[in-house]
Amino acid sequence: SQTIHQWPATLVQPVGSPLSLECTVEGTSNPNLYWYRQAAGRGLQLLFYSVGIGQISSEVPQNLSASRPQDRQFILSSKKLLLSDSGFYLCAWRVPVWAGAGEQYFGPGTRLTVT
């Protein structure tokens, strides 16, 4: 069966510090991968998605970036965090359309607090 991991689970970082969140998927190949941010009490904002290694699409201009160095690894980064970067970061995967895409499966999330 497929599983999705995210780490760390929680993170407290000062403003201006760098960020690296990691997401890995097991039990599937060629997944579509997604990064979302959820501010407290708010909806899901799509940040990045990837359909393959090295292929990243950005939905919202910001000081965050994403990379996909391996098929089942998705990394969210920032060089300098802002207070507004605080939130609940969710990674998700989905079977590609050509394989019969359906629901997205979410990871457990990383709760980031920027102080």
Partner 1 sequence: GENVEQHPSTLSVQEGDSAVIKCTYSDSASNYFPWYKQELGKRPQLIIDIRSNVGEKKDQRIAVTLNKTAKHFSLHITETQPEDSAVYFCAASYSRSGNQFYFGTGTSLTVIP
Residues in contact with partner 1 by CB under 8 A are 32, 34, 36, 42-44, 46, 49, 51, 57, 59, 90, 92, 94, 96-97, 101-104, 106-109
Q: What are phi and psi of 99, to 5 degrees?
A: -105, 10
Closer of 56 and 73 to partner 1 (Cβ): 56
Closer of 44 and 73 to partner 1 (Cβ): 44
Provide the CA 88 distance to its chain's centre, in angstroms. 10
CA-to-CA separations, 2 to 22, 60, 108, in angstroms, rounded: 17, 29, 14
Closer of 59 and 79 to partner 1 (Cβ): 59
